[in-house]
Amino acid sequence: MSDASPTVPAYAGPRRILSGIQASGALHLGNYLGALKRFTALQDQAPTFVFVADMHAITVWQDPALLTAQTREIAAAYLASGLDPKKTVIFPQSAVRAHADLAWVFNCVARLGWLDRMTQFKEKSGKHKERASVGLYTYPVLQAADILLYKATEVPVGEDQKQHLELTRDIAGKFNNDFGVPGYFPLPEPVIQGPGTRVMSLRDGSAKMSKSDPSDQSRINLTDDADTIAAKIRKSKTDMGVMPQVGESLDDRPEIRNLIAIYAALSEQTKDQVTAQFAGQGFGAFKPALADLAVEALAPVTAEMRRLMADPSEIDRVLKDGAERAAEVADPVVAEVKKIVGFWQA
């Protein structure tokens, strides 16, 4: 008798891509390079679902009127960055009720120990986790529902979200095993690539560029005009040295490493190519070149965002149509999950 364990059937469904951005705070260069630009590149590869994560946003208190405005702003950024609503399903998370339905089932599949290991909750809740919302603690489970609801096989994520995607894989595997439906949910793979995946603060190269940073000088907002972008790059933190040589360690020069990574991502070059281009030069040469590059890349995005936000009817049409198309995929999955779990059905 063989001791080999039986092979578990793998997911055999179609390739699908899914991701989203939380509807809180202004979008910035890090969102553009780490997410928006990548979404646009992926939409021709497979059916793509991109949502505005407004349900995730309320894990901390949000002003209701501002949340609505930010949902539209993120949708405008999606469109302005090149997402085509004919190719990509663009929708607000809360407009598809199947997200909440599947999240509850997954809350009962996920284990407490798994959530206790999530480092982002520890970082966001700080020393007063007792005051944090239950939603902030369990939102990785909702994130798993977001992904598996569409049976997404690939998820563009930043390095800081890899742990949550691993949780998604654990939940999918446990559901498939617990209910005897091997291969029902896929085990999605992260899509992490390129030099701009993790863009750091312009004031502190050891901290991620963030819309929650109190200093507006720490980030380049997608709504900044050309003069503001140039000024922020000109004032960005550097050191007393010059641009490094190729192969030189930048472990003790995080701000320089970050600016090189931004230039590389915007110019679609490698970091070594950028380093070779500016090696030994002062920042008086590099920063203006980076500013020109950033303005050239972002100015069309900013202009289109402002056009869309001035008359949000076009955004609302895209979101409504996207929500309907998303529900067409999501609702049958939830209906089938309810049947698998054993919920009563008329």
The torsion angles phi and psi of 23, rounded to 5 degrees, stand at: -85, 70
Active site residue 162: no
**Interhelix angle 98-107/162-178, nearest 10 degrees:** 80
Q: How far apart are CA 297 and CA 291, in angstroms?
A: 10
The one catalytic residue in 37, 208, 232, 287 is 208
Q: Which residue of the set 37, 87, 122, 124 is catalytic?
A: 124
Which is catalytic among the residues 174, 211, 237, 338? 211
User: Helix (H, G, I), strand (E, B), or coil: what is residue 25?
Assistant: coil
* 7 C-beta neighbours (distance < 10 Å), count: 7
How many CA atoms, within 13 angstroms, populate the side-chain half-sphere of residue 218? 18
Distances (CA, A) of 261 to 219, 247, 267, 274: 15, 14, 10, 9
As a whole number of Å, the end-to-end CA separation of the chain is: 46
Say how far apart CA 293 and CA 287 lie, in whole Å: 10
- Is 237 assigned a catalytic role? no
Does residue 211 carry a catalytic annotation? yes
- What is the DSSP track for 235-285? TS---SS-PPPTT---TT-HHHHHHHHHHHHHHT--HHHHHHHHTT--HHH
Residues marked as catalytic: 124, 208, 211
